[in-house]
Structure 1
């Protein structure tokens, strides 16, 4: 993805808000909004935002799991399975 093709000044956003929303929804590419020549915000469609949030949540779970492994907070699979079977039959 090349952000250079999706950079627009805030005046463009103000004048073409409906078109911008339609474009980012159809293309599913974020748009960088500039103010006084500097990047100030990124505008993206809701589906892409939700997908990004889900991806970040999964990455966080993986990182937390790795922290548990690194800290030695793990149990052998056989022990966990035996405990779950014992709970189910109780």
Structure 2
């Protein structure tokens, strides 16, 4: 996801209502999220669907890494050296 540009990517909800198509086009073209505000406070974030899917994939990977780290701390699983040795041994068969 691209970095937000606050002068372009934070807009009032009333502007979104009147120009939704152009806002969606901007999000699709720039790949940047847009924050919608109501009474000066953020109420929603619009994200390009492909950017959202990529964020979900990264989040899933981070969650798997977090779980693996917790398992290693609890004495479960095996360390990197052992995993590498096992993988190489399987490849040699």
Is TM-score (shorter-chain normalized) higher than 0.5? yes
How far off is 1:2 after superposition? 3.4
2:48 is the alignment partner of 1:62: no
Provide the aligned C-alpha RMSD in A.
2.3
Task: Give 1:32's match in structure 2, choosing from 30, 35, 40.
Answer: 35
Q: Distance in 2 between matches of 1:57 and 1:74?
A: 19
Unaligned runs of 5+ in 2: none
Deviating 4+ runs (over 6 angstroms):
none
TM-score (norm 2): 0.79
Aligned residue pairs: how many?
A: 84
Unaligned runs of 5+ in 1: 86-90
